[in-house]
Amino acid sequence: MAGTVFFSVSMSLDGFIAPESPEALMGKQWMELQAWAFRLRYFRDSLKLGGRGEEGRDNDIVRATFERTGANVMGKRMFDAGERSWPDEPPFHSPVFVVTHETREPWERLGGTTFHFVNDGIEAAIERARAAAGEQDVRVSGGGETIVQCLNAGLIDEFTIALAPVLFGKGVRLFEGVDDSRVALKQVSSESSTPHATHLTYTVQGRRAPI
């Protein structure tokens, strides 16, 4: 019984999920985008950031997202940026399937994260992640290009956006290149317990490609 395939990202009000250059990843704008998460206990503990995070509804949402995830799928660009910046214990704590042309042995890290390198495309990566996740769900971690590729191929069942009250002006757009003729959405929930983000959940009603 395959799990749900989803993604969950923070997005600026003007539709961006990352700055233009990976070097700006920890810059001011990105910190503003993620500010809602950095204040939370579960998030701080996961990334071993120290300090005392807040509990409450947002914290529950972050915890639930991590706890439902049995495996991850990731694009090569996100992996490359992460490989340079993740700590020895990356914040996934589950298998990560990286879609790449590079042939490479699995890379095991502390805390239950092992990166597997998949050379036969996004659908194969999702299939392998499904098998690894068992009864849990598969998270498409990113980046934007990989998420849109999955959306257009009908591989995403649902997704959650933490919409932050921030304007980027430029950067990496979440939905750049989405094929609106293939992706119809249904809003499942919308909630905001703090002024730092609104959590929007949608199911994808579009045609689901056979895999």
Footprint of a copy of itself (CB under 8 A)? 13-15, 29, 161, 163, 165-169, 173-175, 177-181, 183, 185-192, 195-198, 200, 202
Task: Give least dist CB 170 to a copy of itself, A.
Answer: 8
Q: Given the complex with a copy of itself, which of 50 and 169 has the nearer CB atom?
A: 169
Task: Give least dist CB 98 to a copy of itself, A.
Answer: 26
Task: Give least dist CB 191 to a copy of itself, A.
Answer: 8
Q: Given the complex with a copy of itself, which of 47 and 185 has the nearer CB atom?
A: 185
For every residue of the chain, DSSP letters joined together read: ----EEEEEEEETTSEEE-SSGGGGGSHHHHHHTHHHHTBHHHHHHTT--S--B-SHHHHHHHHHHHHEEEEEEEHHHHHHHHHH--SS-TT-S-EEEE-S-----EE-GGG-EEEEE-S-HHHHHHHHHHHHTTSEEEEEE-HHHHHHHHHTT---EEEEEEES---SSSEETTTT--TTT--EEEEEEEEEETTEEEEEEEE-SPPPP-
Q: Given the complex with a copy of itself, which of 11 and 118 has the nearer CB atom?
A: 11
Q: Given the complex with a copy of itself, which of 131 and 188 has the nearer CB atom?
A: 188
Task: Give least dist CB 72 to a copy of itself, A.
Answer: 23
Task: Give least dist CB 55 to a copy of itself, A.
Answer: 20
Q: Given the complex with a copy of itself, which of 14 and 23 has the nearer CB atom?
A: 14
